[in-house]
Structure formats: structure tokens, C-alpha cells
Amino acid sequence: MEFDGDVLTIGAELSMEEIREFEQFIRPRLEYIETIAIEAGGILQSSALIALLVSLKRTRPELNIPFLERGMTTSGAYGTLHWMCHD
């Protein structure tokens, strides 16, 4: 996890325990973050990360999460993963 101004960058390869820790860290600070970015090249380990990012976006709609807006990622283990997000 890395802060650069109002941008928080995280890895896609977070384990379930790391996702829980990330949620506990981010929820009280959500109003101070403008963008949550995912590091390029990471392999998504769990759909729980996508679910958390969607939840954060619904909590604060003006939050910018380019990973969600892209709607897809590629994994060596799972191939290409697509998702749709609805408001």
C-alpha cells in the first residue's frame, strides 16, 4: 500500500486477511482519498477485493477507482476476467 497525495495504490494480490485489514484501514479514511489505484501486473487472488472496491464506491460515489471502471483484468491462472458494475 502506498500513498501519493490523495491517491492510494494497492496490490491486486491481497489475501483474504490482507483484504480485511485493508478494509479496517480504509473505511475511517475514505473521505480523505480521491483515488484508489491497483498496481499494474498484480494477479487478482480473490473476488473479495472487487466486492470491497464496489462497496467503497457505493459508499462514496465520487471516489475514482480506475480498476473497476476498466471492467476486466488478466490472470495467468484464470485468464481474462470481466465484470459489470451497476449503480
CA dist., res. 38 & res. 42, Å (int): 8
Q: Which helix (H) or strand (E) holds 67?
A: helix 66-70
| pTM of the predicted model as reported, rounded to 2 decimal places | 0.83
Q: Where are the beta strands (DSSP E) in the chain?
A: 2-4, 7-10, 35-38, 72-75, 79-82
Question: Taking 60 as the threshold, does the pLDDT of residue 87 lie above it?
Answer: no
pLDDT at res. 69:
82
Spatial separation of the C-alpha atoms in residues 50 and 4, rounded to whole Å: 22
Distance CA 82, CA 2 (A): 26
Output 8 or 86, whichever has higher pLDDT.
Answer: 8
pLDDT, tens digit, 9 for 90 and up, residues 10-65: 988 889 999 999 999 999 989 889 999 988 777 777 788 888 998 998 999 999 98
- Give the pairing of strands 2-4 and 7-10: antiparallel
